[in-house]
Amino acid sequence: MKLSRQFTVLGSAIFCVVIFSLYLMLDHIDYSKNPNGERNQNGQLGILQDKIDHLERLLAENNEIIANIRDSVINLRETVKDGKMFPEGSMSQGNGELLPPAPALLPIHSEDCQFAARTYSKAADGVQMLDVYDLLSFDNPDGGVWKQGFDISYQDNEWDNEPLQVFVVPHSHNDPGWLKTFDDYYRDQTQHILNNMVVKLHEDSRRKMIWSEISYFSKWWDGIDEQKRDAVKRLIESGQLEVATGGWVMPDEANAHYFALIDQLVEGHQWLERNLGVKPKTGWAVDPFGHSPTQAYLLRQAGLSNMLIQRVHYSVKKHFASQKTLEFFWRQNWDQDSSSDILCHMMPFYSYDVPHTCGPDPKICCQFDFKRLPGGRISCPWRIPPQAITDNNIQERVQTLLDQYRKKSKLFRTNVLLAPLGDDFRYTEAVEWDQQFENYQKLFDYMNSHPELHVQAQFGTISDYFEALRKSTGMDPVGMNVGQLAFPVLSGDLFTYADRDDHYWSGYFTSRPFYKRLDRVLESHLRAAEVLYSLTLANIQKYGQPSDYPAVDNYKLLTEARRNLGLFQHHDAIAGTGKDWVVVDYGTRLYHSILNVKRVIVSSAHWLVLKDKPAYYHDPSNPFLQMDDVQPSQDALPRKTILEVGEKPRLLVACNPTEQARTSMVTVYVTTPKVRVLDALGHVVRAQVSAVWNDASHAATDVFQLSFVAQAAPLGLSVYQLMEGMEPRTEAAKYMFLQDGMKISVSKPEHFSQFYQQDAAPVHIENPHLKLSISKATGLLEKMRLKEDDSEFLVKVEFAWYGTTSNKDKSGAYLFLPDKEATIYSPSQPPVVRVTKGPLFSEVTTTFPHITQNLRLYNIHGVEGQSVEICNTVDIRGEINREIAMRITSDLNSKDRFFTDLNGYQVQPRKTMAKLPLQANFYPMTSMVYLQDSGTRLSLLTAQSLGAASLKSGQLEVIMDRRLNQDDNRGLGQGVLDNKITANSFRLLLEKRSSAEEAHISQRSDAPSLIPYSPLSASFPCDMHLVNLRAIQSKEEGGGPSEQAALILHRKGFDCGFSNRNTGLLCTTTRGKIHLEKLLTDLKVKSISHVSLSLMHTHSSDANPQEISLKPMEIRTYRLQLS
């Protein structure tokens, strides 16, 4: 299978490359909260203390090293400013090696080590989800009318003193794409719902409605006139219409990365602020397939006080119902106090449709869904139809409904009851509004005029409900302060969801993995574009002259990309659970936005690196810079563009969008193997030339890979040049070809030599950190040796197949229903194994019929050199009902414990349970999965969301693609058969300590002078992540940028509990403090204020807002103006 084909850049277009390393290597958080945790806290603390002491001794020394490095960086910049960019005569040997020197120990402040060392104790009335899982038997007995629950009884006089308060909340669940595309749903359904809403709510001021998806709302808003807009504003002011959550979509909480979760929330909230002036108070998430505490935290940080969730494992719901813990404060695992608490309501029953929301008996509740009145298009599957409410039947109807309300109320702690009234795309037609609202109003009027019923019923919004709930418990209306704790505290997450039987929704953690990867490609490019764009605007302002830079056009491209990325976070989009053509619609949006944000990156980088600013021009048809890869279509893998190298120097710009100074391998495709690479000072940089392969053993003759180690300042752009010529510091790679453990002869690749290893020993590739043993027969990893202490570990990579069950219900887009444990992948033909050895990287490429694995080791200090890069190109298009997994077996004694991240933001401990079916032990892996024993941790970092498990001690497993021939009866109505050739990228990290993330650009020239750009004088602290620097839209017409940007920071939880070897990071920790202006080189902070996550609320001004200070794990937003 071909990894890629190439095409060449024509003419003299200026050339540009961006390479992102896509791994979010979160600093690992080790929770020892669970009483069954294996880590011995005291022992661990002792070891930690020793390490801290050792570190402190080294701190002074290291600060000096860092200061020296900074000085030299500053000197370098000064030199460049003097115009001595490529001084003549300095083309000779550079000063020193290109592998970065000085394995400097990371200077960490001891206080910054406390986060991971803490014991997390739960509150007195606390519920930890891991404990709940230990407790539950998952036996699924028949519960009667409430099938998954139990009989509920009550006494008639229970409400005599305090009447039952019922809030019926009308809602319409509008998926921004699922069975139809976003635009088709809008045209056929959503616009009618919203149009009717304006009319029907105005008819009676007692009517209410909630809306949550701003993607739809804003599209509708754009097409309505001022009169209608005013009517909507009046409905909002009067409280009849409430915007719940107010994100761009109702996001998937398993596969979405927190960058994108934040971005779609900011996009929705910023739209609301500009157009309606409303600030959502309550979250509403009835359909995401399992719930993450990350989303709870983000809502809380955005200033919301309450939230509602629905799709939770039926056994958990039943347990919480029996304990009356369906309403709780959701608290983050790592939270030391209660600052992350948000009041959460978990819906108790099977679904959010009307049959499952009025009470425990769906046969009864369905009779109160008046859209199902006889003669309509839908009916009740329980075969008892609704009756229109009349004087004749009202008494009986009220008694019947009230019985359900009362029973439901018994599952909660207060007399306030929530009864949602809606379903997917409800309230499209005027008649449906009349059916529901008129019949319910009759029921309410009757209830409220009969005091002996002790009930007060009304339409309400979701915040009306929470307001009454808070009032009934003596809580204040928005805060989390409770005099008497009426609700318990819950910590942990709500994966993996099952709605019935053994139907676990773990399939969608992997479904359509090609697009899960594409999502992250857009995400990383969008982030880079946002940061570069904001820096460029500030830089232009500082420059003080008008410029040709397309600020407004670029802002529009960014806005569109934010919205397309936001749309894809929808729970049927990134989840991979839409119809085939809907998937194509999403893919096309992502694809176009990738092209567009690359334009923003290129035009911004052009300005920033240009020495002679007046020479800046913007010509979209002939961009100054070009990127190094091109994706030919929405469903194809990107191809490398080929850089034509001749006698004239060709410039290459490396862009580092991370907040850390980075050393990183850059690989570009060039037209000649005789090439030299020079850095900004004209020093020759060591480089490796490798072949480009048309297939497993045939090299291209006219294109070559050129790799070199680039250094880039934090958020900076560095400049390299390539030119033709023989150069001893550019070395060619050597090759060996094997099949079935034996040498095979291939036509000798021109320019490259071959080698052969005679003995039967495994193939070894190594760098200063690691030595890998790879099977000669399979080409797959078998052992890893850590050079720091010469310890060797079994780390065996295999592939495996899952089939689907022979039962009636089979695996589909949502569900994973395997037939049995996976069987090892063993193709009848032994694979061709190609071994590459070179000075900068070595790799083993193994070509199986369904997978090409590329396992690469960089000969580089720092983060990239400490992990093994694994890229699996998977193609299962010819299979029937099969899923393919990568399995990594180690000798780590991890028992039944492992860890997965949630949304790339935090780490959640997991426990594999024999009492659960295999598919229940799979969890979402957004950025990593790891396992560990007392001495070692093995992490698999991923560049795309996939499903992962640890089914045996020491073993990790990741599902890479799934091809399923049937629907799994969750409404999609099709299987998953649109598989693509998919590249899954990972890094495998074996450690006694770790960290980071990264990227670059490159370019060619005839050529104007380019100077490196470094906006920061030093790296951010090691634990501080710049989530985004996102330009804010101007309030004026035209959709351009304002002068302000949202600076979003995340202080990671830091774990010092690993041996401290060189991470290659030139950063320290600072107890969560940054002085922004001191970090900036040229730009000044004009204004800065602390605001809520999505900028809706301004927090009381800090004494000195320049001094930014974050607690571990905190995410904070600042409204920032640079000049």
27 vs 175 by CB, closer to Zn ion: 175
The partner residues of 678 in beta bridges, in order of sequence, read: 684, 721
Minimum CB–partner distance for residue 424 and Zn ion (Å): 7
Please indicate whether residue 287 is annotated as part of the active site. Answer: yes
Q: Is the Cβ–Cβ distance between 901 and 231 less than 8 Å?
A: no
Q: With respect to Zn ion, which residue has the nearer C-beta, 211 or 720?
A: 211
Would you say 149 or 507 has its CB closer to Zn ion?
507
How far apart are CB 250 and Zn ion at their closest, in Å?
7
**174 versus 1062: smaller Cβ distance to Zn ion:** 174
List beta partners, residue 668: 706
**In the complex, what is the shortest distance from the CB of residue 186 to Zn ion, in angstroms, rounded to a whole number?**
15
- With contacts defined by CB under 5 A, name the span among 282-290, 591-599, 653-661, 955-963 that binds Zn ion: 282-290
Q: Are 250 and 213 in contact (CB under 8 A)?
A: yes
Minimum gap (Å) between residue 286 Cβ and Zn ion: 8
If you count them, how many residues does the chain have? 1123
Query: Shortest CA distance to 852 belongs to which of 799, 908, 893?
Result: 799
Q: Which of residues 908-937 bind Zn ion (CB under 5 A)?
A: none
Smallest distance from Zn ion to CB 804, Å = 24
Among 242, 263, 273, 287, binds Zn ion (CB under 5 A): 287
Closest CB to Zn ion among 217 and 669?
Answer: 217
Assess 353 for contact with Zn ion (CB under 5 A): no
The C-alpha atoms of residue 969 and residue 815 are separated, in whole angstroms, by 9
Q: Name the minimum Å distance from CB 733 to Zn ion.
A: 50
* Contact predicate 331/338, CB 8 Å: yes
Rounded to 5 degrees, φ, ψ at 563 are -75, -35
Toward Zn ion, which CB reaches closer, 267 or 287? Answer: 287
Residue whose CB is less far from Zn ion, 353 or 523: 353
Single out the segment in contact with Zn ion by CB under 5 A; choices: 267-275, 284-292, 363-371, 448-456.
284-292
- Residue 252: which of 220, 290, 298 has the closest Cα? 290
Element (H, E) at 1086: strand 1085-1091
* Count of residues that bind Zn ion according to CB under 5 A: 2
Asked whether the beta carbons of 1057 and 44 are under 8 A apart, the reply is yes
- DSSP class per residue in 606-656: HHHHBSSGGG----TTS-S---SEE--STTS--EEEEE---SS-EEEEEE-
User: Closest separation between CB of residue 570 and Zn ion, Å?
Assistant: 8
Backbone angles phi, psi at 676, to 5 degrees: -120, 150
d(CA 528, CA 532): 6
Closest to Zn ion by CB, 422 or 818: 422
Residue of 175, 287, 361, 585 marked catalytic: 287
Among 318, 321, 317, 482, smallest CA distance to 409 is for: 321
Question: Over 219-249, what HEC string results?
Answer: HHHHHCCHHHHHHHHHHHHCCCEEECCCCCC
Q: Residue 596 contacts by C-beta under 8 Å, 6 or more apart in sequence?
A: 557, 560, 561
Report the DSSP pairing between strands 327-331 and 282-285.
Answer: unpaired
In whole angstroms, how close is the CB of 979 to Zn ion at the nearest point?
24
The DSSP 8-state label assigned to residue 903 in this structure reads: T
Closest residue by beta carbon to Zn ion: 287
Taking each helix axis from N to C end, the angle separating 551-568 and 258-275, rounded to the nearest 10 degrees, works out to 120
C-beta of residue 719 within 8 angstroms of C-beta of residue 710: no
Closer to Zn ion at the Cβ: 425 or 555? Answer: 425
Contact window for Zn ion (CB under 5 A) among 287-295, 487-495, 557-565, 778-786: 287-295
Three-class DSSP category at 956: strand
Minimum Å gap between C-beta 571 and Zn ion is 5
Contact call for residues 933 and 894 (beta carbons, < 8 A): yes
The DSSP secondary-structure symbol of 1016 reads: B
Instruction: State how far the alpha carbon of 882 is from the alpha carbons of 506, 580, 799, 812, 961, in Å.
Output: 15, 18, 13, 11, 9
In angstroms, give the least distance from the CB of 526 to Zn ion. Answer: 24
Tell me whether residue 287 or residue 423 sits nearer to Zn ion (CB atom). Answer: 287
Indicate the angle between helix axes 258-275 and 293-301, nearest 10 degrees: 30
Tell me the per-residue interface mask from 160 to 189 with Zn ion, x by CB under 5 A, - otherwise. ---------------x--------------
| Amino acid, res. 811 | S
Helix axes 394-409, 430-448, angle to 10 degrees: 80
Binding track, positions 1089-1108, relative to Zn ion; x by CB under 5 A: --------------------
Pick the stretch among 23-31, 283-291, 816-824, 960-968 that binds Zn ion (CB under 5 A). 283-291
Residue 175 or 659 having the CB closest to Zn ion? 175
Cβ atoms < 10 Å from Cβ of 776: 20
Q: How far is the CB of 910 from Zn ion (least distance, A)?
A: 26
| Cβ closest to Zn ion, residue 620 vs residue 973 | 973
User: Interface with Zn ion by CB under 5 A: which range of 46-54, 279-287, 590-598, 1058-1066?
Assistant: 279-287
The region, left, alpha or beta by phi > 0 then psi within -120 to 50, assigned to residue 973 is left
The nearest distance, CB 987 to Zn ion, in angstroms, is: 33
Query: In whole angstroms, how close is the CB of 582 to Zn ion at the nearest point?
Result: 12
Concatenated DSSP letters of 137-206:
-------TTSTTS------TTTTSSS-EEEEEEEEEE--SSSSS-HHHHIIIIIHHHHHHHHHHHHH-TT
Q: Tell me how far apart the alpha carbons of residues 810 and 503 are, in angstroms, rounded to a whole number.
A: 9
Residue 175 vs 883, nearer CB to Zn ion: 175
In the chain, helix, strand, coil percent, each to 5?
A: 25, 30, 45
Contacts with Zn ion, residue ranges (CB under 5 A)? 175, 287
| Residues noted as catalytic | 287
